[in-house]
Amino acid sequence: DVKVTQSSRYLVKRTGEKVFLECVQDMDHENMFWYRQDPGLGLRLIYFSYDVKMKEKGDIPEGYSVSREKKERFSLILESASTNQTSMYLCATNINTGELFFGEGSRLTVL
């Protein structure tokens, strides 16, 4: 079974802090994705990566950056957290067949 592990299930940060959300997958998949999920807005794609050191912007990249130094690890970075970034963050991975494998999510609260 594919395992996608997100480093933190719950985080509380203060406005202006730098936040790192880590995601690790164990299935050697090329593609990795970061989504955020908010009530009434569904899942929105922040960034994705098709290969090591490669990244592409999704639909809502503003305020975020990513890093993919190793194939199995995809990190989401909030350079200066703001209250409107309070959300559930979901990491996912796949090969090009379309089926996504998700982690359990990281619920971030920015005070």
Partner 1 sequence: SQQGEEDPQALSIQEGENATMNCSYKTSINNLQWYRQNSGRGLVHLILIRSNEREKHSGRLRVTLDTSKKSSSLLITASRAADTASYFCATDVTNAGKSTFGDGTTLTVKP
Which residues, 6 or more positions from 1, have their beta carbon under 8 angstroms from its beta carbon?
A: none
By CB under 8 A, residue 96 contacts partner 1: yes
Rounded to an integer, what distance in angstroms lies between the CA atom of residue 106 and that of residue 90? 7
Binding of partner 1 by 84 (CB under 8 A)? no
In whole angstroms, how close is the CB of 56 to partner 1 at the nearest point?
8
Question: Judged by CB under 8 A, does residue 11 bind partner 1?
Answer: no
Candidates 24, 46, 90, 108; binder of partner 1 (CB under 8 A) is: 90
Three-state DSSP state, 83: helix
Given the structure tokens 């690790």, which residue do they identify?
Answer: 24
Half-sphere exposure of 23 (CA within 13 A, CB side): 30
Interface with partner 1 (CB under 8 A), residue total 29
Contacting residues toward partner 1, per CB under 8 A: 4, 31, 33, 35, 40-45, 48, 50, 58-59, 90, 92, 94-105, 107
